[in-house]
Structure 1
Amino acid sequence: MSASHERKLALLGGRTLAYEQAGNTSSPIVVLYLHGAFTIGEASKPSSVILSKGVHYVAPTLPGWGNTSSPLPSTSYVDCILSDMTVLLNHLYPEGSRNITLYVAGGSYGTAPAQILYGAPYEKFPYGRRIAGLLLLGAISPFYYHRDYAKHMSWGNYIMAGPPARYVPFNLVARLVKLALAKRLSTVEGAEKFLQDTVFGKMGEAERKEFAQWRDAQRLEEGETERKMARNVMRSVATSWDGLLLMPQADWGFRPGGLDEEHSRPPILITSSKDDQMSPEGFAKYLVANYKNARMKSVGGGHLSILYHLDEVWTEFLAVVP
């Protein structure tokens, strides 16, 4: 998808919020999708289920990634997410902003800001009262409260996202990752090799066959998915690397098991993949055990495998849409 499809919203303090949208842009039923690490808000091909429901699909780019500005120095990551999403929804629905039905979804790292919206105080995120459901694809848990989170990690993720990333001073681990990847992710070819090393090359034989079947069903050429993802990886860090540097700061702002009844009213669907090393199944199990209104859908395969089941996941998640 070319950058010409991306829209930019001016924010206070000289900041910018980039986003894309698809579907029925005047629909009062809104799906707000929050992306994972090393990508951007992208809406070139949402699930046909979303389009068939007449939903307005909105995909913002998170702070520090792509063309979305980092938080102001005086603003926490949590407050920045809440403010940005409030301003975006006010912008998209200036006449009937309080009458929308909002479905919040996130993938991988994007499940952190998705949960931040779900549990936020209503005075900071008024649209929280409009949330009808939360979808977490390859969820991560709040490390501050999930004390055993590191036990579920591979060694690579333990270093990059576990205790070393959180506790080594000066955000040194994230800065070293940036130093190691900066040149590599400056080209589509380098980004594609990065994805082969971290995602596509990790597939087992059964998942490779499933991926090929999904690709054929989507009428995609061999390598097309990899190239598209690589372009988005490159775009995500072309402006700055602040998104990566902000990741260790992500904090829900609440304990999942401590939400009141009103916040716990919207149902949560959490998906996990049995062999996913980036978003281990142990994270999803923690969330299901602690949120009061959550259920889990598990599939085989690794980090990418939920992609092959997206239509059925969206169908189940949006089942209550009129």
Structure 2
Amino acid sequence: MAEVRATTPHVPYTETLLPLPEGRTLAYDTAGDPNSLTLVIFFHGTFGVGNASNLNKTLQAKGVHYVTPTLPGWGSSSARPSGVSYVDSLIADITSLIHHLYPDASSHTQLKIYISGGSYGSVPAQIIYGHPFDKFPLGRQIKGLFLMGPFSPPRHDPGFNEGLSWMNYIMVGTPAQIVPGRFVPHLTSVAMKPRFATPEKAIQAIREISFDRMDREEKEVLAKYVKEMGYMEGQYEAKFGLNAWRSVHNAWEGFLEVSDVIWSAWGFVPKEIDAEGLGRHVLVAASKGDELASNKQAV
């Protein structure tokens, strides 16, 4: 296992590379107390990587072990193996990660796992949370699920397209599945690659896509939060911009399969989750007027 420090110094960032079978690699970042028996796993969205820098003060106070894996095909994480479904690959990777962090996880009755994810990251979070215990025994130790601006499984939601912005409708709605050969994501990636070609360009792109679109009230709330977290001026935006650049610096495979992942079989049917699985807490947070995440599914 090797620790790699990013060469871009704008925001302190380290990642650990976990060797997986077949020569694959899972990148992840971690913060908090590594000896804590409360494990919080957060899955990033599109144009993101696992980045645990500047841990939330509430989580710090709780003394949790906070881990942010980089999803397959993004950043330094290998793409999923050829011929293996996204769900099977994800379950195998996260099982390896948890056992790496806690070698006796399967028999450790005091280990509490909380799963979370935002936007696209809500998909792997739900897959992990809802996976049958006979196929993912560690699921029994999951105590809660936190979703931010989540997507629902379109195979089981007839109104899936209704909550999508026009941008998301084209990218991950029905059109992206009707047109064969990943034509839509390939075409989009060609247009976006120049905007994420360098750290500086990625920072500017993220400012324009996310931060510049905030209204005055949102910017005031953000400024207060940034100050409380100890960021210097412009550093918070730079963090997200650098994450975006890192996410596609090596390859665009993670981006190209977003629609396919969302429309894939997630490994479970929500209405068929048994009583044991339903006994775990779920918290959903939605934002108003968010064009980057779905709102309808979170209402």
Q: Work out the CA distance in 1 between the residues paired with 2:100 and 2:5.
A: 23
Q: Number of residue pairs matched?
A: 285
Counterpart of 2:180 (choices 169, 185, 188) is 169
The C-alpha deviation readout for 1:123-175, integer Å capped at 9, x for no partner, is 32221010000000121111121211212222122111211222210011111
Q: Is the Cα–Cα contact under 8 Å of residues 20 and 43 in structure 1 kept in the other structure?
A: yes
Q: Is the Cα–Cα contact under 8 Å of residues 106 and 137 in structure 2 kept in the other structure?
A: no
The C-alpha deviation readout for 1:173-212, integer Å capped at 9, x for no partner, is 1111111111220112211222123211221122122222
Counterpart of 2:283 (choices 269, 290, 307) is 269
> Match for 2:201: what amino acid?
G
The aligned counterpart of 2:99 is 90
- Say yes or no: does 1:181 pair with 2:224: no
3-state SS in 2 of match to 1:50: helix
1:218 deviates by: 2.4
The aligned counterpart of 1:283 is 297
Q: Work out the CA distance in 2 between the residues paired with 1:127 and 1:145.
A: 25
1:96 deviates by: 4.2
- Say yes or no: does 1:194 pair with 2:222: no
- Say yes or no: does 1:146 pair with 2:157: yes
Q: Quick one: percent identity of the two aligned structures? A: 40
Moved over 6 A (4+): none
Q: Is the Cα–Cα contact under 8 Å of residues 152 and 282 in structure 1 kept in the other structure?
A: yes
The aligned counterpart of 1:244 is 255
The C-alpha deviation readout for 1:84-107, integer Å capped at 9, x for no partner, is 000111111113443211111111
Q: Is the Cα–Cα contact under 8 Å of residues 98 and 105 in structure 2 kept in the other structure?
A: no
- Say yes or no: does 1:160 pair with 2:171: yes
The aligned counterpart of 1:61 is 70
Q: Is the Cα–Cα contact under 8 Å of residues 23 and 55 in structure 1 kept in the other structure?
A: yes
- Say yes or no: does 1:128 pair with 2:142: no
3-state SS in 2 of match to 1:216: helix
Please, what TM-score do these two structures have when normalized by structure 2? 0.91
Q: Work out the CA distance in 1 between the residues paired with 2:212 and 2:107.
A: 45
Structure 1 unpaired stretches of 5+: 286-322
Q: Work out the CA distance in 2 between the residues paired with 1:158 and 1:96.
A: 40
The aligned counterpart of 1:105 is 116
3-state SS in 1 of match to 2:98: helix
- Say yes or no: does 1:29 pair with 2:38: yes
- Say yes or no: does 1:228 pair with 2:269: no
> Match for 2:19: what amino acid?
A
Residues 242-251 or 264-273, more deviating: 242-251
Q: Work out the CA distance in 2 between the residues paired with 1:96 and 1:270.
A: 27
Q: Is the Cα–Cα contact under 8 Å of residues 31 and 53 in structure 2 kept in the other structure?
A: yes
3-state SS in 2 of match to 1:19: strand
The aligned counterpart of 2:219 is 208
Please, what TM-score do these two structures have when normalized by structure 1? 0.85
- Say yes or no: does 1:17 pair with 2:31: no
Q: Work out the CA distance in 1 between the residues paired with 2:64 and 2:228.
A: 23
The C-alpha deviation readout for 1:14-38, integer Å capped at 9, x for no partner, is 1100011111101111001111110
